[in-house]
């Protein structure tokens, strides 16, 4: 993992999640294309809580079919991001924050002696 951090690259899975997160970020900030509301939808919550800010509603799936689509993966990845990343306003700062978040998760997994694959 230290090699990835040294060259400032994310593993492929994390890079994919970063691209999906940026897509959802653009939707939440109104910077995305006009078809984005057809793909994503925000959770309508009448009460404001820290956790409810910019939460995404994943589409309902009866089977596993379609669970690799961006309409399903986007909310799943977005809702797993910490709130300090989701509440960021600037696009470049958001990208840097989620990249650091992914590097921290990778380091945490590498340091965990009880995690087996």
Of the candidates 105, 95, 117, the one whose C-alpha atom is nearest the C-alpha of residue 4 is: 105
Q: Check: CB of residue 71 under 8 Å from CB of residue 40.
A: yes
> pLDDT higher for 18 or 51?
18
Residue 68: which pLDDT band, with cuts at 50, 70 and 90? confident
In this prediction the pTM is 0.79
Residues 6+ apart with CB under 8 A from 112: none
Q: Check: CB of residue 63 under 8 Å from CB of residue 95.
A: no
Residues 6+ apart with CB under 8 A from 27: 36, 37, 39, 40
Of the candidates 74, 38, 21, the one whose C-alpha atom is nearest the C-alpha of residue 10 is: 21
Residue 42: which pLDDT band, with cuts at 50, 70 and 90? confident
């Amino acid at each position: 993992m230290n090699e990835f951090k040294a060259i400032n690259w994310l593993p492929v899975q994390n890079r994919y999640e970063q691209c999906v997160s940026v897509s959802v970020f653009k939707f939440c900030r109104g910077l995305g294309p006009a078809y984005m509301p057809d793909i994503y939808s925000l959770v309508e919550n009448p009460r404001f809580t820290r956790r409810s800010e910019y939460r995404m509603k994943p589409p309902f799936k009866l089977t596993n079919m379609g669970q690799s689509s961006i309409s399903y993966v986007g909310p799943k990845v977005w809702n797993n991001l910490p709130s300090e990343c989701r509440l960021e306003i600037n696009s470049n700062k958001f990208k840097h924050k989620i990249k650091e978040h992914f590097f921290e998760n990778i380091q945490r997994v590498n340091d965990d002696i009880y995690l087996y694959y």
